[in-house]
Amino acid sequence: MTEQLTDSDIILSARVLGALFVNPPQSAAAAPLAAAFQDGSWQAQWPSALPYRPQVVAGFQTADDEPLAAAWQRLFVGPYALPAPPWGSVWLDREKVLFGDSTLALRQWLRESGIAFDSGRNEPEDHFGLLLLLSAWLLESGQQARWQELLAWHLLPWCGHFLRQFTAGAGHPFYRALGLLAEDTLAAWKTRLLMPVAEKKIWP
C-alpha cells in the first residue's frame, strides 16, 4: 500500500529542492543540503511517500572533475547560454524571453491572491526554485487552494519539460541526480491535485 503523501512531506521536499535550485552549493542555504546528498545521509530524512529512482542516490555520490560550484554557475548563471533556463517564460513564450506573458500572468495571480512575493533576488518570479519555495510557504500558511492553483496553472505546465532538458544538459552527476529527484518528487505532488493541469504550449 502506497504511503499517504502529507503536507509536511511536500513542504520539506519543496524547501530542500528549492534551496538547491536557487542557491549556489557553497552558500549557507545550500551547503549543508549538498553535503547531505553527497554523503547519502539525506535518504534517512527524505519522506518515504516520495519515491525516487535508484540512480538518484548514485548520482549524488559520484565524483566529477568539475567543481560543484562551477557546475551551478554554468547551469544557472552563465556566462554562456544555459542548457535549460529555469524560468517558465523561456519555455512558454514564443520568443523565449524573460518576463514574458506567463510571468505577467503569474504576477497578476499573486496580486489577486494577496501574496506579496519578494524573493530578494533580481530575477523573474517564475524561477523553478523560487516557485518550489513559494509552494512550501503556501502549504505552511494553510493556503491549500492557492497551492493547487500555483501547481496547476503556473508550475506543472512547463516544469516537466524544463527538468528533462535540465537533466539531459546538466553535465554533472550531482545536478543530473537533482533533476531526476525533482521530476520524481513533482510527479508525486501531482497526485495531490484536485484540478486539471493547464495545457500550455512549450516552445523548443
Residues 6+ apart with CB under 8 A from 65: none
* 3-state SS string for 54-84: HHHHHHHHCCCCCCHHHHHHHHHCCCCCCCC
pLDDT (tens digit per residue) in 110-165: 999 999 887 777 789 999 999 999 999 999 999 999 999 999 999 999 999 999 99
Sketch out the chain's domains with CATH numbers: 7-192 (1.10.3480.10)
Span 25-40, average pLDDT: 98
High-pLDDT (> 90) share of the chain, %: 94
Phi-psi region at 200: left, alpha or beta (left = phi > 0; alpha = psi -120 to 50): beta
pLDDT band at 186 (very low <50, low <70, confident <90, very high): very high
Question: Grid coordinates 516557485 are at which residue?
Answer: 131
Closest CA to 21 of 91, 92, 77: 77
pLDDT at site 123: 85
pLDDT (tens digit per residue) in 162-175: 999 999 999 999 99
pLDDT at site 1: 40
The b-or-e profile of 150-185 (16+ CB within 10 A means b, else e) is bbbbbbbbbbbebbebbbeebebbbbbbbbbbbbbb
Cα Dmax for the chain: 48
Amino acid of residue 96: K
